[in-house]
Amino acid sequence: MQTPPEGPHHADAITGSELRRDVSVYGSYMWGYAAVGADIYTALGIITLAALGLAPLAFLAAGIVFALVGLCYAEMASSYPLAGGGQYFTLRGLGDLWGLIAGAALVLDYTIDISLFTVVAIGYLNYFLPWVTSGHHAIDFTITLGTALGPIHFAWLWLLESAAGIVLLIWLNVRGIKVSTNFNEIIGTVAIFAQSVIVVAGFVLVWKPEILANQLAFNRPTLSQFAFGSSLAIIAFVGLETISQVAQETRRPATIIPRTSIGLVISVLLFAMAFSILAIGLPNLSPADFRGHEGDPVALIAEHIPIIGVVAAPLTAVIGFLIVYISANSGVVSSSRLSYSMSQFDLLPAWFSRVNKRFRTPARAVMVFGSIALLQTIIAFLTPGEPGKSAAIDVLADLYAFGATTGYLLVFISLFVLRFKDPFTPRPYKMPINIRVTYKGNQVWFPVLGVLGLLGVLFFLVMVLLTHHYARIVGPIWVVAAIVLFALYRRRRGLPVFKTLPRDWEGATKKVLLEAEEFQSLEEYEAALSEHRARTSGQQS
């Protein structure tokens, strides 16, 4: 065991127990649903436009990978229930530099989450104000830097609405996660009920299988279009990180997180596939009709359902606004908790880990990354785009998948490393289908499904880099900039720049299990360590 060093790397600093455990089992599920369940409200329109009649297949390909990612996170977050999610898992498995890269990629994802989902939420709200998104009160101009970059349709009123929405989220999260959790639970419950009504009514009253078959057979995209649509489809399933980000504020995380993660995977997969199949099989609605409705695609579907359509469309717009808005809220929570975690490990300055004395929240991190999201939103609205489409949504969606696929890839690698490197930490849940192997005298279970998940995420990351024009430039630049800032910070602190610092992981694991009241896991952990030490001592003697 490593000797606990002096300073910020001891067990107390690693566990960061200042955060209050206010998240219940339903709250944990709703944090995940707020991040993932709302994605269909955002992704459906842009993916249908890209993948055309094969949109359900694009969703299915991404959904299979999402299910494997969900199983991986169920194991990792219940085994290591601290704020930080994928960044923390990567740090423990691969060391400081890779932990920084995972954290930087995921922070980019979360700030894009805030921007994208706030813009889309306002798009649903503007269903009642169609002149806001249809061209009225917008300014058309062209930016010239040597050559014209392209026409810009600047929807300034939509931007002002989105900016106000982001500021409100910052205020909400400074005040406390319990307020945010209660908000999620109420709105999420209403959204699940409304989604169920729309899906059932759509299939019973209007959906035609022959239309679906015709679209699949005759309205196919090119290979490059399908690759782009499939890589976009991964954004319909981004957000599992959120459950692990609030693990340190979840009661009995080792017990709760596997249940909520698996429940989330099942429910989101069902809704995503149902909506994509419904969208392709409705009369008088083709994939091309989603152009101009990237901001409110589910409301468009509801509008085409007879009998209930008159009521369902405006009701869906309201619910779409609320559920997508709480997804933006989860981005604020995740970015602040992730930076809070990174600052504890000297990956970011300690300034980010300061907790507000009144509300006991990482208020500084909330305000910083909320402000970055606000800046991203402004830039997106000032980006040239195709006529008739929302350039802001296209740009933000293009960027969104890079951080998630990069982070998920490193988490899968960390899963393998930690299975071998740390076989003593209790795993209340393991990914199914394992092969037992012996490594350094210890029995280790090798996850077969983890290999499939790793390959799936790697495929989507390659597709993102090949087909996403903004992501393949902005994503790597963001990560490189984070590494440079990390190196400067480490040098200023007199710490080794690219060397992993020694930390008391054993003490941290015991402390977090004790604080989370996971007494059975704590006993199992101590027993496994004792058995390992006795065996090691016997071999040495």
Query: pLDDT tens digits for 484-499?
Result: 999 999 999 898 888 8
Alpha-carbon distance of 477 to 291, in angstroms, equals 31
**pLDDT for position 434:** 93
| DSSP assignment letter at 429 | S
Q: Can you give the pLDDT at residue 8?
A: 46
Predicted local distance difference test score (pLDDT) of residue 147: 46
Residues ≥6 apart with Cβ < 8 Å to 271 = 37, 40, 195, 199
- Best-predicted range by mean pLDDT (51-55, 251-255, 526-530): 51-55
* 312 vs 226 pLDDT, higher one: 226
Distance CA 366, CA 44 (A): 29
In this prediction, residue 420 carries a pLDDT of: 92
Mean pLDDT within 526-534: 82
Type of residue found at 3: T
Check residues 363 and 92 and name the one with the higher pLDDT.
92
Nearest partner of 73 among 247, 337, 261, judged by Cα: 261
Residue 312 corresponds to which tokens in the numbers above? 């369902």
User: What mean pLDDT is predicted for residues 50-62?
Assistant: 90
Answer with the residue of higher pLDDT: 385 or 189: 189
More confidently predicted of 319 and 237: 319
pLDDT at 540 over 60: yes
Name the 3-class secondary structure at 7: coil
In Å, how far from its chain's centre is CA 417?
23
- State percent of the chain over pLDDT 70: 82
In the predicted structure, residue 140 carries a pLDDT above the cut 70: no
**pLDDT of the residue at 534:** 78
| pLDDT at 182 > cutoff 80 | no
Say what the pLDDT of residue 481 is.
93
Q: pLDDT tens for residues 352-397? A: 877 777 777 788 888 999 999 999 999 988 887 655 456 788 888 8
Q: Is residue 541 predicted with pLDDT exceeding 70? A: no
pLDDT at 144 over 80: no
**pLDDT for residue 98 is more than 90:** yes
Say how far apart CA 416 and CA 436 lie, in whole Å.
13
Q: What is the mean pLDDT of residues 438-465?
A: 90
pLDDT confidence tier of residue 136, bands split at 50, 70 and 90? low
**CA-based angle 151:157:161, to the nearest 5?**
125
Rounded mean pLDDT of the chain? 81
Count other Cβ atoms within 10 Å, centred on residue 382: 16
82 or 211: which carries more pLDDT confidence?
211
pLDDT grade, residue 7 (50/70/90)?
very low
pLDDT band at 57 (very low <50, low <70, confident <90, very high): very high
Residue 40 has pLDDT above 90, yes or no: no
Q: Which CATH class is domain 11-540?
A: mainly alpha
Give the range among 134-148, 154-168, 513-527 with minimum mean pLDDT. 134-148
- Token pair for 251: 């009661």
SS3 content of the chain, % helix, strand, coil (to 5): 70, 5, 20
Q: List phi, psi (to 5°) of 523.
A: -65, -40
DSSP three-state, residue 155: coil
Of 75-84, 286-295, 300-309, 434-443, the least confident: 75-84
Residue type, 100: L
Residue where the block lists tokens 């090119």: 222
Q: Can you state the angle between helices 25-36 and 309-344, rounded to 10 degrees?
A: 110
**pLDDT at residue 250 above 70?**
no
Task: Return the structure tokens found at 30.
Answer: 């709703």
| 3-state class (DSSP) for residue 250 | strand
Of the ranges 167-181, 219-233, 295-309, 355-369, which one carries the lowest mean pLDDT score? 167-181
pLDDT greater than 60 at residue 10: no
**Which residue shows structure tokens 């989507």?**
460
State what percent of residues in the chain have pLDDT above 90.
Answer: 24
- Per the CB < 8 A criterion, the answer to whether 207 and 213 are in contact is no
Quickly state the pLDDT bin for 2 (edges 50, 70, 90).
Answer: very low
For 258-283, what is the mean pLDDT? 86
Q: Are 163 and 377 in contact (CB under 8 A)?
A: yes
- For the ranges 116-120, 509-513, 536-540, the lowest mean pLDDT is seen at 536-540
Residue 150's SS3 state is strand
In this structure, what token pair is assigned to residue 299? 């409301």
Q: How confident is the model at residue 529 (pLDDT cuts 50, 70, 90)?
A: confident
- Tell me, what's the pLDDT at 371? 93
Backbone angles phi and psi of 144, in degrees to 5: -120, 120
Q: What is the CA radius of gyration of the chain?
A: 23
DSSP SS3 for 125: helix
Residues 406, 433: Cα–Cα separation, whole Å? 25
Separation of alpha carbons 534 and 357, rounded Å: 45
pLDDT at 23 over 80: no
Using the predicted structure, report yes or no on whether residue 536 has a pLDDT greater than 90.
no
